[in-house]
Amino acid sequence: MKLLVILSFFGITAMADTYQYTIEGMSCSGCKNMIKSAVCGLPGIKSCEVEIGSMKLISEDGKTLDQAAITKALDELNKKNKEDYKIAKATKVDEAKPTTAKHADHK
């Protein structure tokens, strides 16, 4: 019984989704701040980093990012401010992959 409890404790780890976005139409810090306020507060987002031209979102553990809600937030921002922000590219990032260069551990 103890083994089952221990295995279930370590075996049920919900991973978060991480996406990197390329955003067209974002060209200044004002744009960056508007997008940050429109998107970063959406439900299910644990972490949000916005730079000019890009955005990285991480979902809450065990949740999937709602791509439609993110697009809708940008569309509403466009209508409100007469802007033309678009997601040019959305890439799911595998956080489990090592970030070191190939064969970097060999000396």
Rounded Cα–Cα distance for residues 93 and 107 (Å): 28
Res 12 pLDDT > 50 = no
CB contact at 8 A, 18 and 93: yes
Rounded Cα–Cα distance for residues 58 and 26 (Å): 20
Please report the domains of the chain, with CATH numbers, ordered by start residue.
15-92 (3.30.70.100)
What tens digit of pLDDT does each residue of 35-68 get? 999 999 999 999 999 999 999 999 999 888 999 9
Sign of torsion over alpha carbons 20, 89, 60, 81:
positive
When comparing pLDDT for 107 and 61, which is higher? 61
Rounded Cα–Cα distance for residues 71 and 74 (Å): 5
Name the CA radius of gyration of the chain, rounded: 18
pLDDT at 5 (0 to 100): 40
pLDDT tier, 99 (very low <50, low <70, confident <90, very high otherwise):
very low
Cα–Cα nearest to 67, from 1, 7, 15, 21 = 21
pLDDT at 13 (0 to 100): 52
